[in-house]
Amino acid sequence: MTPLRLGCRPLPADPATGPAAAPESGVVISVAGELDATNADDLEAYIGRMRQPGRPLVLDLGGLTFMDSTGLHVLLRVHRQVRQDGGSLHLAAVRDLPARLLQITEVWDALDIHPSIDAAITALSGRSETPAPAPRPGRPPCG
């Protein structure tokens, strides 16, 4: 089994320019390894600490090699929570077995899934939403 590896960074302002956007712009959380019943709670807790309510959250799943139904349920719960908070969840670079699980369960069509991080960021930059509330003071992205 490949251990779960998690990372977080501020959401870039634009894939063409690459510099980080303002702290209130949202975060990208990278998920790599295998996601199953032994570590799904770790992922959910990490996302809960890192995400910014009312802001976009991009999950980079390009390094995720396996996901079981517990991981699927985490994604669905996070999706619901992010939407309730006025944000948006975007999955990027979903490959192989995790992609197949999302497809056969018909979750693929219910979530915003993009072929790459750049595609997710481009989709976010083109959206028109009402402005999100100001970020909580003292809470930097990924902090």
Indicate whether 141 belongs to any domain. no
Structure tokens belonging to residue 139:
């809470």
Q: What is the CATH number of the domain that holds 99?
A: 3.30.750.24
Indicate whether 100 belongs to any domain. yes
Indicate whether 79 belongs to any domain. yes
E-assigned strand segments in the chain: 5-10, 27-35, 56-67, 88-92, 112-114
Residues lower than pLDDT 50 in the chain: 17, 21-23, 128-138
Domains held by the chain: number? 1
pTM for this entry:
0.84
- pLDDT digits 0-9 by tens, 25-34: 899 999 999 9
Indicate whether 139 belongs to any domain. no
- What span, in angstroms and rounded, lies between the C-alpha atoms of 133 and 19? 23
Its domain, for residue 116, covers: 5-125
Contact status, residue 91 vs residue 75, Cβ threshold 8 Å:
yes
- pLDDT digits 0-9 by tens, 61-88: 999 999 999 999 999 999 999 999 999 9
Indicate whether 143 belongs to any domain. no
